[in-house]
Amino acid sequence: MNRTPLRRDARRAESITRARTGLTQDLRGRQRRYLTAMLIRTACVVVMALTWHRWPVVAVLALAGGVLIPYVAVVVAQAGWRQQRGTRAPLVAPTVVPAPAWSSNRP
């Protein structure tokens, strides 16, 4: 039985675990994070409206959250795909094997 010898100097196969998530799956995750942030912002606005006269410090903190959360949500949502990009392995130039020379003594 003819077996191909194992070569330790050969380049390793690419692992599937290093593959990026698909664009559809990444988009779905970013949309969920953005929706969650907007729900928290809505809760901040409701808390602000309910506590404005009774606890003004809480109302001001909720107002600050309602103002800052949209900016943070957009930045986080847009940064998702770029963070998953890693450095690609360098391309390996193919090795050129010269063709065998033809013999001049052809029948």
**Does the pLDDT value for residue 22 go beyond 80?**
no
Q: How confident is the model at residue 18 (pLDDT cuts 50, 70, 90)?
A: low
What's the pLDDT score for residue 97? Answer: 80
Q: In the chain, pLDDT over 70 holds for what percent of residues?
A: 64
Q: How confident is the model at residue 94 (pLDDT cuts 50, 70, 90)?
A: confident
What's the pLDDT score for residue 64? Answer: 93
Q: Can you spell out the DSSP letters for 26-73?
A: HHHHHHHHHHHHHHHHHHHHHHHHHHTTT-HHHHHHHHHHHHHHHHHH
Of residues 14 and 55, more confidence is placed in: 55
Q: How far apart are CA 54 and CA 58, in angstroms?
A: 9
Q: What is the pTM of this model?
A: 0.54
Mean predicted lDDT score pLDDT of the chain:
77
Q: How far apart are CA 35 and CA 77, in angstroms?
A: 10
> pLDDT, tens digit, for every residue of 41-92?
999 999 999 999 999 999 999 999 989 988 888 887 777 555 445 566 666 7
